């Protein structure tokens, strides 16, 4: 699937959380009420462990908490862009 096909597909789906390693998706304009984009700024072999860590985080452990956000995951924590908010939130890992 090409990058330009992903966002239209997400608009058709309901409350989807989409994970990618493509840093080009970390843009405020991609925030949408119907999905969550999670960009993993990690090595390929670390993806599964960071996805588990993300899904277990208290601030983002349900679909309702994730929708409308574009999130970049790093070793230090998460940077979160949220629909209807101009401010980028930064969360450090708490474990």
| pLDDT at res. 29 | 95
The answer to whether residues 51 and 40 touch, using CB atoms and an 8 Å cutoff, is: yes
pLDDT at 95 exceeding the cut of 70? no
| pLDDT at res. 11 | 93
The answer to whether residues 39 and 23 touch, using CB atoms and an 8 Å cutoff, is: yes
Residues of the chain by 3-state class (helix, strand, coil), percent to 5? 35, 30, 35
The answer to whether residues 42 and 21 touch, using CB atoms and an 8 Å cutoff, is: yes
pLDDT at 32 exceeding the cut of 80? yes
3-state secondary structure of 33: coil
3-state secondary structure of 80: strand
């Amino acid at each position: 699937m090409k990058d330009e096909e992903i966002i239209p597909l997400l608009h058709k789906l309901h409350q989807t959380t989409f994970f990618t390693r493509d840093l080009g998706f970390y843009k405020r304009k991609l925030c949408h009420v119907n999905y969550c984009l999670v960009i993993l700024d990690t090595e390929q072999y670390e993806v599964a462990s960071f996805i588990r860590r993300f899904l277990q985080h208290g601030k983002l452990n349900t679909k309702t908490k994730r929708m409308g956000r574009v999130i970049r995951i790093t070793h230090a924590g998460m940077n979160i862009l949220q629909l209807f908010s101009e401010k980028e939130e930064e969360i450090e890992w708490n474990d």
